[in-house]
Amino acid sequence: MGEEILVSLKVNGQERALAVKPNTTLQDLVRWHLDLTGTKKGCEMGECGACTVLMDGRPVNSCMVLAVAASGSEVTTIEGLSVNGDLHPLQKAFVKHGALQCGFCTPGMILSAKALIDSKADPTEEDIRQVLGGNLCRCAAYPRIVKAILSWKEFEGVPLDTRPHTPEERDQERDHAVVGHGVTRYDGPDKVSGRARYTSDIRLPGMIFGKILCSPHAHALIRSIDTTGAKKLPGVLAVITGADVPETRYGVSPARYDEHVLAKERVRYVGDEVAAVAAVDVETAERALRLIQVEYEVLPAVFDAEEALKPGAPLIHPEDPRYAGNVNTRVEWNFGDVDKGFAEADLVREERFVGSRTYQAPIEPHASLARWEHHGPKLTLWSATQTPHYLQQMVARTLDIPVGSIRVIKPAVGGGFGVKAETTPLDLCAVILARMTGRPVMMKYSRREMFYHFRGRHKQIMDLKIGLKRDGSITAVQSRIVLDGGAYTSYGVITAYYAGSMIPTLYKIPHYKYDGLRMYTNLPACGAFRGHGVPQPRFAFESLLDMMAEDLGLDPFDVRIRNAMTPGTRTCNALDISSCEFGATLERAREASGWAQKKGRLPRGKGIGVGCGGFVSGAGYPIYRSDFPHSNAMLRVHESGQAVTLHIAAADIGQGSDTVLPQIAAEELGIPYDRVWMAACDSTLSPVDLGSYSSRVTLMGGNAVKMAATDVKNKLLRVAGRRLGCDPAALTCRDGRIFVKEHPSVGIDWAEVAAAAFSEGGPVVGTGSYRPPTTLGGDFKGGTVGTSPAYSFSTFVCEVSVDLETGFVTVDRCVDFSDAGTVVNPVTFHGQVEGGVIMGIGETLLEDVVHRADGTIANPNLHDYLIPSIRETPEIISVAVESFEPRGPFGAKEIGEGCLVPILGAIANAVYDACGVRVKELPITPEKILKGLQLQAAGRVAARVEG
């Protein structure tokens, strides 16, 4: 059965004849047989569009086409679009407009667009939305994708360059040559051409494939595992179970390492890892998993955080008395005297809000590839990770390998949003299996396995109480939050603290009490997701603030402005707010949105709402205690003097740090951006950086890079000073020249000086390192969480339409005013904001991972778990309100996470304005709204008084 069949087809203009098995997909044919890895594997079920190729000119999902069915066709992959190395105008348009972030969906997106322009050279925006609906982009670069396609003709016959494209992308003029300019992404050309290699695109000689067997039970004891059948299957090279992995537990927070590489005796959720197999191909590995026989003793399970708290609930971690009552983390914070604060209030209101379990759903699945080097003690691990350093540490610690023997390489990463910020069983099993077999082992999750591995947003049940004076001033806030953490800790300790710590950063709150309780349940573990712990409490806060403003007859903006944070404030929970233009974001958003004309004045079914947010610019303290600087950079000037290489292990996962960091280097060095090379993110090449989490890279990595550049610059200025016969202090660099500040015409070529410096003294290298101020945070338990050198602030206003007969919500248009300090790159900055807005729309209106009564997931795929498509994209106006952050490089701070935080509350408020229905439980589905409308019609709930 399944004899190989000859398939003849034309791929990118070349005739090909290949013998393949009938069950080979066109996707595997192009990826594995032809090594055209620009065709991505995102879901393998025809749901994401990342594998789109053109078949006889029409886009198809190559995962949904059998190779044999493509016989006789003409197939175009992304690699076929550029001719003689010159990018197709569409590809150039994507690069120039910043129409990509992580780049994983980009090849498919461009091919769909190619088919469109081939049939209609001047497509309308509606055409684009119609044709690209099946190409999901989790970074949500949709607005820029539309722009790029609309303008593709402008790029015909134009060479690609890296200079800023559209001047209007610049927010304000500062006297910088590179910083503040929308230079093109460093990784743009590779990502639009399919050349960028992600972990699962890598092929090594002798490489084999691993898969993990997961528990079908939510809670059970493992009685026995029989791997005999699996081991006997031809093609299987190794099978491991809990008995073969170390006793050492791993995790994220050192205080709560609670996971074994593979379950030892107990499984705690459907999906818990039980055994792993390495085999010659994925098909064999999957077959072997089905031959492993596990005998379970099924135990009662608990799936609800509040149920887990009740006496008699099944104990999920009975092995550790710290987790008695299933409490994973308990936070008890009391700042000031809330009783006093509430007594001073004219209005006190308490409401319960409930969040949902949402999943990051990056389009690139998790993948790891491990190889032991030189038949010996050294290990190379390629991983789709946001945090290469923590991965290196965790692998070393868990598997007892000296850290110095581990090399971690982060290839291109197709989106993370937090889900790739921790060590996975893939990483650990790949290392173990590679050691056992002596072969490189590639492991990857399927889309379904990603949902079960999870580490998405915690569902938070929030009882929030606010006290307001008649004029809207906040007198006190009390928050009690129960977080459903799932079966393991992951980032959850930090999540539980973040859920409380960030509330006092936007508004001045004199008295604040927070009780957080993170519960274990028999569900997949929750972790860190963009805005870590903050979006749901912020949704609750912004909703309740609006409800109370209405009670008091106040305008929602007035209430926010009255309490708005100001620069140089120490919050009640001892966080130091440095730069802050929050007030300005409020004033400008109010003006630009036409609030005065619209609020309460739109026809029924239309509404406007405001929400605010913000986030840390990097966590003030690392995840595990260490003394080393958080970000470190080296710059090496090439011998020619014509280029420099920046070595920094910051992890670009699509957010654009590989663009922003060389910009900062170029600015400080005084050379054009395109003279900076980025060294690969490889622990043997670059010094430690803690990675991409807590929105830390622009500020922390940027500071390290700037310092390294200053170091180089000072060396060059000394050489130049000798050459020009002047004091180095009188010199400066810009645009590739070193010159006398007072007499710019007196100068010398930068490269010439750099080459001379090398000739004189050998390699010209600069180093820089950054550590946050050590004084951050209060002296109380958990006082470190929420600390940061700087905070972002934003105000978001959106207009929605509600279909009063179905409850369907459309977000029509919105404005976002964000204070992220100096904007280093306006294109990537606005791309982050737009992406955050759209992700926020998904989280508010669509997304919820649903579990059945047995703990299985009802929607573990992109077909049933709906994330926003290009057709959910509203008109977004994003404006930077630039403060100057003294602790940031050139005044910069974060944007990537804060931009998502205000969206949920703003949409909830807009829906209420549109139809008078207040939904306090996420997601705000049409069904919930319709139910509210029906109650309203029945007179059981007062309809909103029309303004």
Partner 1 sequence: MEICDFALHRPASLAEACEMGRMLGPGARFLAGGTELLPDLKQRRDVTRHLVDLRSVPGLRDIRLDSSYLHIGCLATLSEVAESSDVHKTLPALSEAILSMAAYQIRNRGTLGGNFCGGVPSADTPPICIAAGAQVRLAGVDGERTLPAEQFFLGPRKTVLDPGELLAEVLIPVQPARSGSSYQRFALRRATALAVVGVAARVALEKGRITQARVAMSAVAPVPMLAAECSGILEGQSPVEEVFERAAKAAALASRAISDLRGSAGYRRDLVRVLTLRALREAAARAGTRPA
Q: How far is the CB of 131 from partner 1 (least distance, A)?
A: 5
What's 263's DSSP letter? -
Which of 38, 49, 778, 821 touches partner 1 (CB under 8 A)? 49
SS3 23: coil
Options 75, 131, 345, 904; binder of partner 1; rule CB under 8 A: 131
Q: Which two tokens stand for residue 670?
A: 């005084």
Of residues 522-541, those binding partner 1 (CB under 8 A): none
Position among 18, 69, 202, 221 found at the interface with partner 1 (CB under 8 A) = 69
Query: Sheet of 347-354: strands edge to edge?
Result: 327-335, 512-519, 474-484, 459-468, 347-354
Name the nearest CA neighbour of 652 among 415, 444, 826: 415
In the numeric block, which tokens belong to residue 499?
Answer: 């859920």
Nearest to 851 by CA among 302, 362, 481, 424: 302
Nearest CB to partner 1, comparing residues 61 and 106 = 61
Shortest distance, position 686 Cβ to partner 1, whole Å:
34
* Residue 858 binding partner 1, by CB under 8 A: yes
872 scored as a contact of partner 1 (CB under 8 A):
yes
Q: Which is nearer to partner 1, 192 or 279 (CB)?
A: 279
Question: Per residue, what are the HEC states of 307-347?
Answer: HHHCCCCCCCCCCCHHHHHHEEEEEEEEECCHHHHHHHCCE
Q: Which listed range, 41-49, 557-565, 728-736, 880-888, lies at the site for partner 1 (CB under 8 A)?
A: 41-49
Site for partner 1 in 135-164 (CB under 8 A): 135
How far is C-alpha 143 from the chain's CA centre?
A: 18
User: Strands 208-214 and 441-444, how do they pair?
Assistant: parallel
Chain positions 432 to 461 lying near partner 1, rule: CB under 8 A, are 446-447
DSSP secondary structure code for residue 786 in this structure = T
Contact residue for partner 1 among 52, 387, 478, 489 (CB under 8 A): 52
Q: How far is CA 226 from the centre of its chain?
A: 39
Count CB neighbours of 441 within 10 A. Answer: 29
State the nearest-atom distance from the C-beta of 401 to partner 1, in Å: 31
Whole-number Cα distances in Å, 238 to 201, 210, 441: 23, 9, 11
| x-or-dash string of contact with partner 1, 656-695, rule CB under 8 A | ----------------------------------------
State yes or no: residue 23 binds partner 1 (CB under 8 A): yes
Name the minimum Å distance from CB 108 to partner 1: 8
Residue 184 DSSP class: P
Shortest Å distance, C-beta 417 to partner 1 = 19
Q: Which is nearer to partner 1, 116 or 661 (CB)?
A: 116
Verify binding: residue 863, partner 1, rule CB under 8 A. yes
Among the listed residues 629, 616, 613, the one whose alpha carbon sits nearest the alpha carbon of residue 787: 616
Return the DSSP state at 697: I
Supply 751's token pair: 């490269």
Q: How far is the CB of 504 from partner 1 (least distance, A)?
A: 36
* Choice between 42 and 188, CB closer to partner 1: 42
Tell me the longest C-alpha to C-alpha distance in the chain.
88
Residues 6+ apart with CB under 8 A from 538: 502, 503, 531, 611, 612, 613, 901, 902, 904, 905
Cα(338)–Cα(517) distance, rounded to whole angstroms? 19
Please tell me whether residue 38 adopts helix, strand or coil conformation: coil
Q: Please choose, out of 128-136, 391-399, 495-503, 651-659, the segment that lies near partner 1 by the rule CB under 8 A.
A: 128-136
CA distance 947 to 945: 6
Q: Which stretch binds partner 1 (CB under 8 A): 16-24, 620-628, 717-725, 780-788?
A: 16-24
Distances (CA, A) of 836 to 141, 163, 535, 843: 10, 25, 11, 10
Distance CA 869, CA 862 (A): 11
The token duo for 314 is 């099944």
* Window 283 to 322, contacts with partner 1 (CB under 8 A): 283, 286
Quick one: 122 or 126, whose CB is closer to partner 1? 126
Q: Which is nearer to partner 1, 23 or 626 (CB)?
A: 23
Nearer to partner 1, 45 or 327 (CB): 45
* Residue 2 binds to partner 1 (criterion: CB under 8 A): yes
Given the rule CB under 8 A, which of 1-9, 188-196, 243-251, 621-629 is the region that contacts partner 1?
1-9
Interface of this chain with partner 1, residues 767 to 806, rule: CB under 8 A: 805-806
Least Å distance between CB 25 and partner 1?
7
Please list the residues that pair with 480 across neighbouring strands.
463, 515
Going 81 to 82 to 87 to 88, the CA torsion angle's sign is: negative
Using the contact rule CB under 8 A, the part of the chain among 131-139, 385-393, 776-784, 824-832 near partner 1 is 131-139
Residue range at the interface with partner 1 (CB under 8 A); choices 40-48, 294-302, 689-697, 936-944: 40-48
10 beta partners: 15, 74
Considering only residues 494-513, where is the footprint of partner 1 by CB under 8 A? none
Within 209-255, where are the H helices? 228-232
Contact pick of 846, 881, 901, 910 for partner 1 (by CB under 8 A): 846
Which CB atom, from 69 or from 574, has the smaller least distance to partner 1?
69
Please check whether residue 793 is in contact with residue 582, taking contact to mean a CB–CB distance below 8 angstroms: yes
How far apart CA 853 and CA 281 sit, in angstroms, is 35
# chain residues binding partner 1, by CB under 8 A: 58
**Minimal distance in Å, beta carbon 99 to partner 1?**
18
Alpha carbon distance 676, 379 (integer Å): 30
The 806-845 contact track toward partner 1, x by CB under 8 A, reads x-x-------------------------------------
Q: State the pairing for strand pair 74-76/5-11.
A: parallel
Tokens of 61: 């999902």
- With beta carbons less than 8 A apart as the criterion, state whether 836 and 896 touch: yes
The binder of partner 1 chosen from 11, 12, 25, 483 (CB under 8 A): 25
Of 861, 858, 839, which is closest to residue 923 (Cα–Cα)? 839
Choose which of 33, 82, 133, 299 interacts with partner 1 (CB under 8 A): 133
Closest to partner 1 by CB, 63 vs 797, is 63
Least distance to partner 1 from the beta carbon of 799, Å?
17
- 208 contributes a contact to partner 1 by CB under 8 A: no
Contact 632, 699 (CB under 8 A): no
How far is the C-alpha of 939 from the C-alpha of 921, rounded, in Å? 22
| Segment near partner 1 (CB under 8 A); pick from 51-59, 369-377, 577-585, 728-736 | 51-59
Interaction between residue 868 and partner 1 (CB under 8 A) = yes
Q: Where in 258-287 is the site for partner 1 (CB under 8 A)?
A: 282-283, 286
Q: Rule CB under 8 A: is residue 59 a binding residue for partner 1? A: yes
Binding stretches for partner 1 (CB under 8 A): 1-3, 5, 21-23, 25, 44-47, 49, 52, 55, 58-61, 63-66, 68-69, 112, 129-135, 282-283, 286, 446-447, 805-806, 808, 846, 850, 858-859, 863-864, 866, 868-872, 925-927, 930-931
